Amino acid sequence: MVLRAESDFEDAGKRRRSPDDDGYQRLREAIVKGDLAPNQRLVEADMSNAFRMPRAAVRTALVRLEHEGLVEREPHRGARVRLVSEAEAVEILQARAVLEGLAARAAAERITRASAAEVRAVLTRQRAALNGQDLLGASDVNAALHAKIVELSGHSTAQRLIRSLNSQMVRFQYRTILIPGRPAQSLEEHSAIVEAVASGDGDKAERAMRRHLTNVAKALESSHREAAGDSAPRRRRRTS
C-alpha cells in the first residue's frame, strides 16, 4: 500500500481550513478510503473518540458529508455510510460527462503553450504506465489527467461540482479499469481529448470528453451485469 497520501484531486483549491473542518477531511477520507464500510453506522460518540475530536465537530462533519452524498442521516436514528447503487453511479458518470465536457471546452478555449505541454506530459505518463502494465498507476494518472483539464478550465463552478461527484464514485474506482481492453481504449480516448484541448478546439474537446465518460458509464454497466457479487478489494484510487 504505497499510495499517495493525498491525490492531487482531493485538496486542490481548498486552502484556509478551519479547525473542525480538518476533522471533516479526515472523516471523509476514512469513508472514501473505505475504512468505514458502506451502511456502517456512524455513532457520533464513537467517531468522537476514534478520531479524537469533539462530538460537535463530528456532527458538523456528518452534516457536510450528508450534503455531499457520502452519508445518510435520519432524524433521530443517526448517520450511516451511504451505499451508492450502480444505477446511481451511472447517473453520476452521466453528470460528470456533461460537466467535464464543459470543462474540456473551457480548457481548450484558454489553452496556452505551457499548459498544452502540461496535459500532454500527463498523457505521456499514462502511456508509460500502461506499457509497464502498471494498472494502478494508470488509474492514478487517469485521475490526474481529468483533474488537470478541469483545473485548466478555470471553471470553478464546474470544478466544485465535479469534485463532489467524484467522491461518491469511490466504490466503483476499480470496476472499469479491470475490464479487458478497457485501459487501452481509455488511453485512446484520453489521447483524443488531450489533442483537442491542446489544439484549442473547444467543440471537439467537449465531444471527446463526453464520448469518453459515456463509454466509462457503459463499461460500468456491462461489468456490473457480469460480476454481480462484488468482492473487489476496496482501496483508494480513482476511476477514469
Query: What is the contact surface with its own copies in residues (CB under 8 A)?
Result: 16-19, 21, 56, 59-60, 63-64, 67-69, 73-76, 88, 91-92, 94-95, 97-99, 101-102, 155-158, 160-161, 165
- Centroid of chain to Cα 233: 17
Residue from 44, 66, 118, 221 touching DNA (CB under 7 A): that is 44
Residue from 27, 31, 32, 57 touching DNA (CB under 7 A): that is 57
Cβ 35 to DNA shortest distance, Å? 17
Cβ 224 to DNA shortest distance, Å? 30
Our CA angle for 199, 100, 105, nearest 5°, is 30
- With contacts defined by CB under 7 A, how many residues of the chain interact with DNA? 20
Instruction: Check binding of 64 to DNA (CB under 7 A).
Output: no
CB 71 within 8 A of CB 84: no
For DNA, the closer CB: 57 or 170: 57
Q: 71: which strand partners?
A: 81
Please give the residue ranges that form the binding site for DNA (CB under 7 A). 18-20, 41-45, 53-57, 59, 73, 75-79
